[in-house]
Amino acid sequence: MLTKKAQYAFRALTVLAKRQQNAGDEGLSEWMSARQISEASPMSVKFLEQILVDLRSAGVVKSRRGPHGGHTLSLPSDQILMAKVLRLMDGPIAPLACVSLHYYERCEDCVEEDCGLHRMMAEVRDAQLSILEHRTLADLVNPT
């Protein structure tokens, strides 16, 4: 299950991606304040600001101060992988640490080679990753 943090991150990124898409067509600035983002997709501004700090640290968004400042995407929306954002916000995608590709931890009391749960959860992880590693923010903005 996605945390609120991940849900808000995806909502905020969708708002920024739509703004980036429409900026040239409508003569708008791509830059949006946290308040503008939260008005476009209602969420707590304080919580959103924390999320934007994490997204900026990971190079997903860039920010600038001043009257024409705010936040914008660092990359085109078709280069921002869903899996990257999800890992950034929620940590491991895998349902168990012993099947995680990026956050692996061996179970203390389990022999992975003989564990049916390990094998099944590895399949679950692979199924999720087969979608999340190939979908981008652009897929949220322009669903097929």
pLDDT, average across residues 131-135: 95
CA-nearest of 56, 129, 99 to 48 is: 56
What is the model's pLDDT at position 105?
Answer: 83
| More confident site: 80 or 95 | 80
Which structural domain range is residue 119 located in?
A: 4-141
The percentage of residues in the chain with a pLDDT greater than 70, rounded to a whole number, is 95
Instruction: Give 3-30 pLDDT, tens digit per residue.
Output: 999 999 999 999 999 998 887 666 567 8
Predicted local distance difference test score (pLDDT) of residue 104: 87
Q: What is the pLDDT of residue 25?
A: 63
Average pLDDT over residues 97-120: 84
Nearest to 40 by CA among 54, 58, 20, 68: 20
Query: How many domains, in total, are found in the chain?
Result: 1
What is the predicted pLDDT for the residue at 26?
Answer: 61
Q: Which of 21-25, 29-33, 55-59 has the highest mean pLDDT?
A: 55-59
Residue 124: give its domain's CATH number.
Answer: 1.10.10.10
Tokens encoding 5 = 């943090």
pTM of this prediction?
0.86
Cβ(60)–Cβ(13) under 8 Å? yes
| Whole-number pLDDT of residue 46 | 96
Separation between Cα atoms, residue 107 and residue 103, nearest integer Å: 13
